[in-house]
Amino acid sequence: MSLFNVYPLYNITPVSAKDVYVYDEKGIEYLDLYGGHAVISIGHAHPKYVEAITSQVAKLGFYSNAIRNPLQEELADRLEAVSGCKDYQLFLCNSGAEANENALKLASFKTEKSRVIAFKNGFHGRTSAAVAVTDSKSIIAPINAQQKVTILDLNDIESVKTELEKGDVCAVIIEFIQGVGGLDQATKEFFEQVDVLCKANNTLFLADEVQSGYGRSGKFFAFQHYNVTPDIISIAKGMGNGFPIGGILIHPSIEAKFGMLGTTFGGNHLACAAGLSVLNVIHDDFLMDNVQTISEYFFKIAETIPQIKKIKGKGLMLGLEFDFEVSDLRKKLIYEYQIFTGGASNKKVLRILPPLTVQKKHINQFFEALVNALDA
Ligand SMILES: Cc1ncc(COP(=O)(O)O)c(C=O)c1O
């Protein structure tokens, strides 16, 4: 059987990894400034993470959501403590798209409305409603296009107000730092006014923190850089450091009913063990402090490189914008300098999404390679 050929691949085969390094089958070492697409939060194969998963799978890897699973409660308590999001309720699933799918569904249940406002260049996943609210025509199939969605420009608060006042909008969904789109951010005023307008119009404010959450922005959630209170926060990528787990944090004003949401695999024992160890390492190893320190260092060096036209993002969710498309530069960085970086739908942006354990020496290694690659 052949694989369904949907991914353009780099010709590299990683077989092991440790912290910020990935090794291929020939033993060649690559510096991972991509984090498997913002997934690796606490570093590859962190010993506490390996131990947590190994000992859990030897005891009980999975049982269904029809029985009590104290690990889910432990994860919820730990998430509340580490994120500072008090009194939210947690629903666990398996991926970012699924988290947004559940967030949108819940917003529609709660408000009994069905239209969604989303934003230009936003990305929220590839499943039903999640892809419908994603601004990328080529990945929306006719079956997805049936959803009622209005895509607006970031920072166009007048249009948000006009649309919300029509009274049929169940949710506004937004990334506080756009990931796939290319690291754009709306203004503080915009985010805060959207929050106020949602509350005035019985519309839920959905923070898609699938990529920007779990410390990547320097705070636990990117929305915490602003004075807003999302009704639902979706999480995934960094949550399991590679183990598939996602979830939504649900404001206490939204009441659960049996059967409202559900999943077979979501919140299984093994996923919870992975998720708990990630939260413990983020907290115990002060990774959010490291994100801030390394981010400042990164900005300082990037500012000295004339070919970089714009430095975008926050924390370790960063983009370097050039006045040329970066696909050849990315290839050069991988094949000649053994450094993984990311691309974006804005083809002039090089994305930097390293494990949150990255150190100054790795940033130095990257900029040395970048300068050489740009000069060559
Ligand atoms: C902001 C955001 N939301 C949702 C998703 C979808 O997550 P997943 O690929 O886990 O379904 C992504 C993935 O890149 C993302 O960046």
C-alpha 121/C-alpha 116 separation (Å) is: 15
Instruction: Indicate the top mutation candidate among 237, 239, 263 to test ligand 1's pocket, ranked by most ligand atoms within 8 A of CB.
Output: 237
pLDDT given at position 310:
98
| pLDDT one-digit tens code per residue, 220-241 | 999 999 999 999 999 999 999 9
Contact (CB, 8 A) for 312 and 183? yes
Q: Which H helix or E strand runs over 235?
A: strand 232-235
244 lines ligand 1 (CB under 6 A): no
C-alpha 292/C-alpha 309 separation (Å) is: 22
Go through 136-166 and write b for each residue having 16 or more CB atoms within 10 A of its CB, e for each that does not: eeeebeeebeebebbebebbebeebeebbee
C-alpha 47/C-alpha 336 separation (Å) is: 30
238 lines ligand 1 (CB under 6 A): no
Ligand 1 atom, smallest distance to 178 CA: 1
C-alpha 316/C-alpha 325 separation (Å) is: 22
Give the DSSP letter of residue 19. Answer: B
Structure token digits, residue 17: 């990894």
Domains present along the chain, CATH in parentheses: 14-45+287-375 (3.90.1150.10), 47-284 (3.40.640.10)
Instruction: Indicate the top mutation candidate among 7, 37, 123 to test ligand 1's pocket, ranked by most ligand atoms within 8 A of CB.
Output: 123
Residues of the chain with pLDDT under 70: none
C-alpha 35/C-alpha 242 separation (Å) is: 9
> Where does the chain have alpha helices with state H?
35-38, 47-59, 70-83, 96-111, 128-132, 157-164, 188-200, 269-284, 287-302, 327-335, 360-375
Pick from 334, 304, 312, 331: nearest CA to 175: 312
179 lines ligand 1 (CB under 6 A): yes
Residue 342: strand pairing partners: 351
pLDDT given at position 64:
95
Distance 375 CA to ligand 1 centre (A): 34
C-alpha 368/C-alpha 183 separation (Å) is: 23
Contact (CB, 8 A) for 259 and 38? no
pLDDT given at position 14:
97
pTM of the model as a whole: 0.98
C-alpha 298/C-alpha 20 separation (Å) is: 16
pLDDT given at position 253:
96
124 lines ligand 1 (CB under 6 A): yes
pLDDT given at position 337:
98
pLDDT given at position 295:
98
Distance 259 CA to ligand 1 centre (A): 25
211 lines ligand 1 (CB under 6 A): yes
End-to-end CA distance of the chain, in Å? 42
